[in-house]
């Protein structure tokens, strides 16, 4: 094997990193309560959790600071492998981010000159922000060294990647590299590699042929039918979050669009509403929504579009959901959207643990803060907070088809 594997291993002082996956599908369970009980419970929750929040925030901050310090040290050490004139492959992830930061410093302070090939657009944007020259993989005939993370490494330095399913770009860059360096933490060191389910990334073109080869070897690739089986178990009330996210653009847009369309088809077949995650993809997102709107009801979670887009969604019979963002100083678009649509099409949410409303912005969000969102909407609509709470609760109950407990 021509590629040389080198692992830079660093210790997290006994702290295990917890990987949080982005769930494509979610289950929902609700209970309707009177507004007085709701506000009382929210007040009790805020009082009871204030001390816990403060302690948890401090512990989380300390743990993150320790982890980041060790990742930074590893990134700085790995950056020493990049020399003038090299063509370097730059991977993706939190440790690689520190690597790119250090390379950016060397470019500025030491005059380092090298060419980079990245495995994601996120890393490309970061590197180009430092003035690092980034080229396409097709523009080079080789890569001197690629530095990336890994999922598992054993004590003999055998390793495996692919747990994040971002395989295609990484594989292409690695195949063209003379040397590969993986930066891993102690939690990735195992006795035997391969204990986690390894995803296989299959692009739409030729996907059927891949499935046939898997089946011929006795493998049973999971697809949307498996998800459909889950949804007919009787516990699921909606399919979500699904949609498009162009903010980082790590997954090619045509692939995102393909699966968004497939998931909408699944929702249609199962008769389930959908919860949409859409970020910086308004045009493409709306094109797919228009295609399915007469068959699939939906709600735009954490709505960030224009008032015109909001009005079109209402005309299509869809809902909009708003978070603590409505309390931010730069929330003009959200406020305009709220003003442009009827209350009967508005929901409120936390997007926990993110987007806590003012005055809790920056803290871990939770349902005890939801009344702040209702207060802002009430201000815009000229209603009481109680009225907004009652209407949005009824909207959510109707959308998710949740019984009231009154003979339904």
Which positions are catalytic? 170
Q: What b/e string do you get for 258-285 counting C-beta neighbours within 10 Å, with b at 16 or more?
A: ebbeebbebbeeeebbbbbbbeebeebb
User: 373-377 — which CB contacts under 8 Å span 24+ positions?
Assistant: 373/322, 373/323, 373/324, 373/326, 373/327, 373/348, 373/349, 374/348, 376/326, 376/327, 377/322, 377/326, 377/338, 377/346, 377/348
- In the DSSP assignment, the letter for residue 325 is G
CA distance 154 to 141: 32
Look up tokens 């399915």; give the residue.
Answer: 292
Please name the residues in contact with 95: beta carbons below 8 A apart, sequence gap of 6 or more. 71, 74, 75, 149, 183, 185
Whether 89 and 137 have beta carbons less than 8 Å apart is answered as no
CA distance 74 to 51: 35
* Cα separations in angstroms, 154 against 15, 158, 159: 18, 5, 6
Task: Give the number of other CB atoms < 10 A from CB of residue 163.
Answer: 18
* Cα separations in angstroms, 389 against 35, 37, 346, 377: 7, 12, 11, 10
The arrangement of strands across the sheet holding 298-300 comes to 239-245, 274-279, 298-300, 319-322, 346-348
Q: Of the candidates 183, 193, 177, which has an alpha carbon nearest to the alpha carbon of residue 4? A: 177
| The two structure tokens encoding residue 63 | 């743990």
* Cα separations in angstroms, 319 against 22, 262, 274, 347, 355: 23, 21, 10, 7, 20
């Amino acid at each position: 094997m021509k590629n040389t594997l080198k692992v830079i291993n660093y210790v997290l002082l006994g702290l295990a990193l917890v990987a949080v996956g982005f769930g494509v599908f979610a289950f929902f369970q609700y209970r309707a309560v009177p507004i007085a009980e709701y506000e009382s419970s929210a007040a009790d929750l805020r009082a009871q959790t204030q001390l816990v929040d403060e302690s948890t925030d401090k512990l989380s901050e300390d743990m993150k600071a320790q982890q980041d310090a060790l990742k930074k040290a590893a990134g700085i050490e790995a950056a020493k492998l990049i020399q003038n004139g090299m063509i370097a492959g730059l991977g993706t992830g939190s440790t690689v981010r520190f690597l790119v930061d250090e390379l950016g410093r060397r470019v500025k302070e030491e005059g380092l000159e090298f060419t980079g090939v990245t495995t994601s657009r996120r890393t490309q944007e970061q590197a180009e922000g430092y003035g690092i020259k980034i080229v396409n993989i097709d523009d080079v005939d080789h890569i001197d060294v690629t530095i990336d993370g890994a999922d598992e490494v054993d004590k003999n330095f055998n390793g495996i990647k692919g747990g994040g399913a971002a395989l295609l770009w990484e594989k292409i860059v690695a195949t063209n590299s003379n040397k590969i360096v993986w930066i891993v933490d102690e939690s990735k060191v195992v006795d035997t590699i391969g204990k986690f389910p390894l995803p296989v990334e299959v692009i739409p073109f030729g996907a059927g042929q891949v499935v046939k080869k898997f089946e011929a070897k006795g493998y049973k690739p999971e697809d949307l039918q498996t998800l459909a089986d889950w949804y007919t178990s009787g516990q699921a009330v909606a399919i979500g979050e699904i949609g498009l996210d162009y903010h980082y653009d790590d997954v090619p847009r045509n692939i995102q669009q393909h699966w968004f369309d497939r998931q909408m088809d699944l929702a249609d077949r199962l008769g389930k509403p959908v919860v949409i995650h859409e970020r910086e993809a308004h045009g493409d997102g709306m094109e797919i929504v228009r295609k399915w709107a007469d068959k699939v009801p939906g709600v735009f979670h954490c709505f960030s579009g224009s008032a015109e887009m909001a009005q079109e969604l209402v005309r299509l019979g869809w809902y909009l959901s708003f978070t603590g963002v409505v309390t931010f100083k730069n929330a003009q678009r959200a406020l305009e959207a709220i003003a442009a649509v009827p209350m009967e099409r508005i929901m409120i949410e936390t997007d926990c643990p993110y987007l806590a409303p003012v005055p809790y912005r920056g803290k871990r969000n939770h349902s005890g803060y939801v009344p702040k969102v209702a207060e802002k909407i009430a201000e815009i609509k000229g209603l009481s907070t109680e009225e907004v709470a009652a209407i949005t609760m009824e909207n959510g109950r109707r959308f998710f088809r949740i019984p009231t407990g009154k003979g339904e």
